[in-house]
Amino acid sequence: MFDKDKYLQYLGFSGTPDASLETLRKIHREHQMRIPYDSGYALDVNSSGDALGLAQASFDLDAAFETIVLSGRGGICVELNFMFHRLLVELGFDVQVLAAATLLPGGVWGPEVEHMVMRVTIDGEDWLADAGHAGISIVEPLPFSGETRVQDGIEFRLTRREEYYFLEYRTRGKGWRDSYRFLPQTRTTADWARWRDALPREEMVAHPRRRRRVIDNGQVTLTANLFLTVEDGEERLRLIRDENELEKVVSTYWR
């Protein structure tokens, strides 16, 4: 069952939490260090050998908390941010759920209701929160004002283009890149449930497996056997060809 105190304990939070920017920064970072993005469960198969895919994505708060947090499985964006949103609400934050579309290979945008993010308002200022992205993403909340913030060597900013907000990032030696875009329209989990249920069966299977975790001075992602590290703002991409090497990477960062 969802338990705010157990959640905070799992995140290593000590002291008395309040609805402040300092608290949000701490739990936002720790959430991504301790609870990974991992789409591996979507590759599980049923008794007939069929991949279960996103049909397993849980919007049952209690079940998701037990599986994703307490058991250490991790999850995908809608599950991770679904739970993080509930934690923020219970801590007294003014928070709204928003839907984002990620930038796909080839420069094509995904569906409007795909990725889940949050807008948190503190002392009249809006902040972007996202504890469940699969790619390079913010480690701490980012202001909606458009101000550039450096987080573990990576530059991030929100820009407004017509009706959309765009999350942009820049690593060392590279130009600005788009990560995702979103409208400032409040959503509910029912929007993602409808999106999931409307997907063709072949699109519900999360293949290849994607993993991400924040580390002390950066973040790491693993997409199939492509291992990306971003440390102090510097990207290093490595193709892992050996099963033993892959197991070493997984055991180092995702166990």
What average pLDDT does the segment 162-186 reach? 98
Query: In percent, how much of the chain has pLDDT > 90?
Result: 71
Tell me, which fold does domain 4-253 have in CATH?
Answer: Arylamine N-acetyltransferase fold (3.30.2140)
- What is the residue extent of each domain of the chain? 4-253
For residues 206 and 42, the answer to whether their CB atoms sit within 8 Å is: yes
User: Residue 247 above 60 pLDDT?
Assistant: yes
Residue 111 CA to residue 13 CA, distance in Å, equals 35
User: Residue 245 above 90 pLDDT?
Assistant: yes
Q: Which of 28, 38, 77, 133 is catalytic?
A: 77
Question: pLDDT per residue over 178-226, tens digit each?
Answer: 999 999 999 998 898 887 777 665 555 556 889 999 999 999 999 999 9
Residue 209 CA to residue 224 CA, distance in Å, equals 5
Beta strands in 41-184 (DSSP E): 94-104, 108-109, 115-122, 125-129, 142-143, 149-151, 154-161, 164-170, 177-182
CA Rg value for the chain? 18
What average pLDDT does the segment 56-84 reach? 85
Q: Which of 28, 31, 85, 115 is catalytic?
A: 115
Residue 107 CA to residue 128 CA, distance in Å, equals 23
Q: Which of 85, 126, 130, 133 is catalytic?
A: 130
Question: pLDDT per residue over 123-161, tens digit each?
Answer: 999 999 999 999 999 999 999 999 999 999 999 999 999
Instruction: Establish whether 216 is a catalytic residue.
Output: no
For residues 81 and 100, the answer to whether their CB atoms sit within 8 Å is: no
